[in-house]
Each structure stands twice: as C-alpha cells, then as structure tokens.
Amino acid sequence: MFSFKHLTAYLFTAAVMVSLSPALASALAVHKHKTHDCDTSTSVMDLPTGQTMLVAPPTAPLFILLGVGTQNYSCVGTAFTSIGAVASLFDISCLDHTPHFASIQSKAFDVWKDLPASAPLTAVGPLVGAPHLDGFHYFIPSASGTGLSPKWDFTSTTGNPSAFVVGARVGGIPAPTNPAVNIDWLSLNRSDGELAAQIFRVDTVGGQPPASCVAGSGDITVKYTAKYYLY
C-alpha cells in the first residue's frame, strides 16, 4: 500500500520538482523528521452516529495524538468560565490498530489524576506506552483582539517554525459518555499556521469544572486527557 510515509519520501527525493502549498510542505517536513512516526493511511477516527456536527475528513489523519493536561477556568459570578487549556501532545499513531489504542486516554487519565501536582505534563505519556512527545497545546490571544484561540505547537520538538496550527471552532457535541465530567468533542478549522487544516478533539476524559463557584473564588485547573486528530 502506498502509505503517507512513502508519499513523503517521494515528494522530498523525486527528481521531478513538484510545487507544494506551504501548508502541505510544512506538514510533510514534520513527518519526514519524525523517525517514530507510523503509517496513518488506514486510520479512521471513530465518531458517534446520529450527529452532524463532527464529520471526519475523507483523507487519512496526519497526526494522532494523546493530549494530557488541564482545562483552566475562572469564576465569573457563580459560574466557571474557560480561560484556556495546556497539554502535552504524545504521538499515538503507532498504537492505532492495537488493543491498547481504544482505552489509552482513560489509562492516561488514571495515571495523570494520581500524580502529584508537581509532576510535569510530559511525565504521563511514557507511563502509558506513548513516549514520543510531539509538541504542546495551549491558548494564545485571538487575532481579533478578543478572547483566546487554541494552538497546537510542534515548533520546539521539530525545529520547524511553521509546525503549528491555531484553530477556530466550527462544531462540537457533548461527550457521548458522562458529559458533566468529560469535556465536549470538538471540530476546528485552521486560522493560522501550517501544521494541519483541521483538528478534532475526541475521546475526552475529565476536564469539566464544578457546576458552580463562590463569587470571588480563584481560578482552577481540571485535569483531562483526549485524543487529537490533525488532518
């Protein structure tokens, strides 16, 4: 089968010069330098039936990631409001099509919730069989000047200054299981960067804040894990 990895090799070594878009060239360059990357050409994102807010692209994902981090909230009035998130992103493409893949986010959450507050986000992946850190997820000020935007950033791990994507939400559904505890599943489109064109957050565990707060109380962090598919 002609895999994505074979496509990468072809595009970068063929004698015939091929004109690539900056986004595709950047994504391929990241794959080229990921020696641990596994073929994702047969990977399929599992989405709930009977909903139309999340629609998987017709192409294979570029990256399949395990996110381990915190959702962050501020108490506004008597309700918590999101002020972003931070997470480490571990490559789990090599685990796809294995029995370990379906439950890795739950196993990672069990490890993460039991670690002390001093433990770094990067500690969890190696403990659940996902040792390869691809990058980081965090929020930045939106280009509009209002609010925050999520960013997936591989620049520090690849040395490629274009290896990031800033997303804008286009769809979402409550987590199919225990949505009061598990954060929403999301679909986002690229608003900046060249790492990917679409991002999906699925298979979420944890991350939801308490239903209410005492006015004037401080910010909180809530541990979560999720799978991220980048297309």
**How far is the CA of 45 from the CAs of 41, 85, 96, 118, in angstroms?**
12, 23, 10, 33
Question: How many angstroms separate the CA atoms of 147 and 167, rounded?
Answer: 13
118-165 confidence digits (pLDDT tens)? 999 999 999 999 999 999 999 999 988 889 999 999 999 999 999 999
Please enumerate in sequence order all residues whose Cβ is within 8 A of that of 140, keeping only pairs 6 or more positions apart, or say none.
148, 149, 151, 166
Helix intervals (H) in the chain: 4-13, 22-32, 104-114, 124-127, 155-158
**How far is the CA of 145 from the CAs of 18, 66, 110, 142, 152, in angstroms?**
38, 30, 37, 5, 19
pLDDT score recorded for residue 105 = 98
User: Interior CA angle at 33 toward 101 and 24, to 5°?
Assistant: 85
Question: How many angstroms separate the CA atoms of 70 and 229, rounded?
Answer: 18
Q: What is the pTM of this model?
A: 0.85
14-70 confidence digits (pLDDT tens)? 222 233 345 444 444 454 444 456 899 999 999 999 999 999 999 999 999 999 999
Q: Calculate mean pLDDT across residues 80-87.
A: 97
